[in-house]
Amino acid sequence: MIRAVVFDYGGVLTLGKYTESLLRVLGKKQGIEASEENYRKFDDLIVEFDFGEMKPQDFVDRVNKAFGTTLSLAEMKEIVRQARNLNPKVIELVKQAGKKYRVLMLSDNDPINVEILKAEKQDLMQLFEKTYFSCDLKMRKPDKRIFEYLLKDSGLKAEECIFIDDKEKNTRAAEELGMKSILFKDAESTAKELGFKI
């Protein structure tokens, strides 16, 4: 019996892919070319930042060094704000799911994003019974330990959960632990799989 729905944040609750969105905003403001090489270089920094191994100022310093920019921490926070746009249809789905199931968030996320979420997105955060962020846990999907941590902390069994993520490697890892999963493509098809209309 399903008791909980676990939502990813970036690419599910938000529109578009985070690294692409961030690099696009950064490119407009700092003239960085959106090349494959720059994407890879930037994504590597994001992954490291998601693990919580860098402080926000260290991340900004590393970006400045890698791309020859002169960003301040305040400017980087504003770029992050502009790169993250919530998907209103998925927010509606979360609200509907919350009437029937326990609703949790499991997100690979960095300290700047998490700070913004906690300070400025309380309406969103309150929709979830609990949120789990990679930068706090020092683990990142698809590492099975992060799913196991969520299950232990929430008192849920794997087979009681549906996990929704936009990356197949993450849904596969959840399935290998016994969770049901939905590979997110759009709000409508995900709602349909959950038995809701939006």
pLDDT tens digit sequence for 151-183:
999 999 999 999 999 999 999 999 999 999 999
Tokens standing for 134? 């990679």
Kindly state the DSSP code that residue 194 receives in the 8-state scheme: H
What residues contact residue 105 under an 8 Å CB cut-off, 6+ apart?
6, 7, 8, 9, 13, 128, 130, 131, 132
CB 150 within 8 A of CB 173: no
Give pLDDT tens digits for 1-51: 999 999 999 999 999 888 888 888 888 888 888 788 999 999 999 999 999
CB 55 within 8 A of CB 111: yes
CA angle 23, 85, 6 (to 5 degrees): 105
Side chain identity at residue 151, one-letter code: L
CA angle 102, 104, 110 (to 5 degrees): 175
Residue 31, pLDDT score: 85
CB 10 within 8 A of CB 108: yes
Spatial separation of the C-alpha atoms in residues 3 and 178, rounded to whole Å: 14
Percent of the chain with pLDDT over 70: 100
pLDDT over 90 at 198, yes or no: no
- Top-confidence residue, 92 or 30: 92
Residue 27, pLDDT score: 84
Phi, psi of 104 (to 5 degrees): -125, 160
Q: How confident is the model at residue 90 (pLDDT cuts 50, 70, 90)?
A: very high
pTM: predicted TM-score of the whole model, two decimal places = 0.94
Residue 65, pLDDT score: 95
pLDDT over 90 at 60, yes or no: yes
Residue 163, pLDDT score: 98
